Structure 1
């Protein structure tokens, strides 16, 4: 629960910072805001903390089930963690090793607006954290859980999917060119970077849609994974 709370606080701070940055930049390429660089330093250190916290939580869960060694940092435990959360680990590592140096030095002070938009992708995290907390409390059948599930889908789609075409549209408006021509007006690495960031978002969104389908297609709002865990508990009694 504590990790969920910390994650939600960080996500809220990131979203607010991103909104301030994006709305302060009238020129999407050249306008600057001091938060753009400073917050990325904070976000990078948070990602290191979050990665460690995720691993320790995974290790404790697996230890209770007897799936890992008692040594916290054994090769078996690390492999188990990577198999389960590979994309999330890759996401965290990329922020520290790629986004941080690009933001601080390689972009030469350009594009604070786009960085602000990317920070706002964290807006869906508090809803995701609330959903996981409710799941742990076995509140899957409550109205709050279902409403939060819809808010997760809406926030994720708006802030993690739609934000990418929005950034291209904002660039096209700034330079008075058709939106479909923007990919040909910006450097190739910008398009590749956007695609690399967007691809896992599409994958995660597809998983959320599948989970929502299970949730709302079940008569009592209990998804298959919940039924499976209940059956396991009954069989063990």
Structure 2
């Protein structure tokens, strides 16, 4: 019974429902869209902290033999929390999309319908595809196809969630009107650093760790793996690279806007007056 109560099927929707009830009493001027967005981000951060913690435990426990060492969290975290969270998060993202457009007064968003669902899928297609890919790739690989090997690499995949709390904090700070404070700037740097290290550089590292186990160089590691494994990694890595490029562009725009505002705010030095002494001569 206790296992059912702490399972992600109960925990994540329960936290989301709780935040939706509590936040309006604290931030009375927030719209439904504000409340749903922040609630979704808070739950995402909680899941990310859980996944990162599980990843650290699995990786540190299986670093002796990256192929054969086992840890029960590599499998059970995916079952208890990974799959329930990904399923819940699709629904939470839809609610955030729905209320955002409803607050803006779009006529199609007076009530839930197939049209609003279709609009959400088209607008957030890459995110939805990412979640579905994890459900259809990571889950079968974890449970059936890896033959009780590679817990270390499952733990590494858990570590990809390390950047999520920073991404969520950035959106929450914007929601609170604190986008110009130093915390938002520092957090922006942490978003780029953690995203690059844990969602992009992590994949070459896993190939290197696999190659080191078998005594082969990094460039040969992909050819030592089944095609399905490489394709699965590519499906997970590709959207991460795309999102990282978007984050870099956004960071550059913010930096450029701040620099331009500082240049406009600083007084221009007045030119020295030209002396008329030469004319007097």
Common fold, TM-score beyond 0.5? yes
1:18 aligns with 2:55: yes
**Count of aligned residue pairs for this structure pair:** 221
Query: Displacement, 1:66?
Result: 2.4
Query: Displacement, 1:46?
Result: 1.0
Residues 221 and 104 (structure 1), Cα distance of their counterparts in 2 relative to 1, 3 Å cut: farther
Whether the 8 Å contact between 2:162 and 2:194 is mirrored in structure 1 is yes
- Give, in whole Å, the separation in 2 of the partners of 1:203 and 1:38: 30
Query: Displacement, 1:71?
Result: 2.3
Gaps of 5+ in 1: 223-237
Query: Displacement, 1:90?
Result: 0.9
Secondary structure, aligned partner of 1:219: helix
1:225 match = none
Residues 1-237 of structure 1: pairs in structure 2 closer than 5 A = 1-25=38-62, 26-41=64-79, 42-67=81-106, 68-72=108-112, 74-219=113-258
Secondary structure, aligned partner of 1:32: coil
Whether the 8 Å contact between 1:17 and 1:35 is mirrored in structure 2 is yes
Whether the 8 Å contact between 1:215 and 1:221 is mirrored in structure 2 is no
Query: Displacement, 1:207?
Result: 0.3
Whether the 8 Å contact between 1:140 and 1:221 is mirrored in structure 2 is no
Query: Displacement, 1:221?
Result: 8.7
Greater relative contact order (CA < 8 Å, ≥ 6 in sequence)? 1
Residues 64 and 4 (structure 1), Cα distance of their counterparts in 2 relative to 1, 3 Å cut: same
Whether the 8 Å contact between 1:29 and 1:113 is mirrored in structure 2 is yes
RMSD value over aligned CA atoms? 1.4
2:265 match = none
Whether the 8 Å contact between 2:188 and 2:251 is mirrored in structure 1 is yes
Gaps of 5+ in 2: 1-37, 262-281
Query: Displacement, 1:220?
Result: 6.2
User: With structure 1 as the length reference, what TM-score do the two structures score?
Assistant: 0.89
1:227 match = none
Whether the 8 Å contact between 2:133 and 2:235 is mirrored in structure 1 is no
Whether the 8 Å contact between 1:17 and 1:39 is mirrored in structure 2 is yes
1:231 match = none
- Give, in whole Å, the separation in 1 of the partners of 2:39 and 2:53: 21
